[in-house]
């Protein structure tokens, strides 16, 4: 795969990105405002072992699941809090 480094000339930050040659448009350009700042180089990425990829994928899934469970629990807690407020407002104290 051929890649090159591009700079975003529209950003106030010194933002650069790596672009695959196959991501260029029909005119050979990446995106408006991006300037190629390196030569094209041919890169071959050696794959990780299947065991490493599976373990990392499982770790990522565990992280995503934990985040979703936390968000779900937060929403349930909000509902429980609203329910408790409504019940406390509508509950009349006997004298």
Q: Is residue 1's pLDDT more than 80?
A: yes
Place of tokens 């994928």: 57
Is a pLDDT exceeding 70 seen at residue 94? no
Q: Look at residue 91 and tell me whether its pLDDT is greater than 80.
A: no
Residue 3: closest CA among 36, 26, 46, 27: 36
**Which residue in this structure is represented by tokens 């009349």?**
92
Q: How far apart are the first and last CA of the chain?
A: 81
Report the alpha-carbon distance of residue 64 to residue 40 in Å, rounded: 36
pLDDT confidence band for 93 (50 / 70 / 90): low
């Amino acid at each position: 795969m051929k890649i090159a480094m591009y700079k975003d000339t529209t950003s106030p930050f010194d933002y650069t990105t790596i672009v695959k040659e196959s991501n260029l448009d029909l005119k050979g350009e990446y995106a408006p405002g991006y300037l190629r700042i390196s030569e094209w180089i041919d890169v071959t990425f050696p794959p990780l072992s299947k065991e490493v990829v599976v373990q990392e994928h499982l770790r990522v899934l565990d992280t995503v699941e934990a985040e979703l469970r936390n968000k779900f629990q937060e929403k349930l807690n909000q509902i429980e809090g609203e329910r408790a407020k409504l019940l406390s407002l509508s509950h009349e104290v006997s004298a």
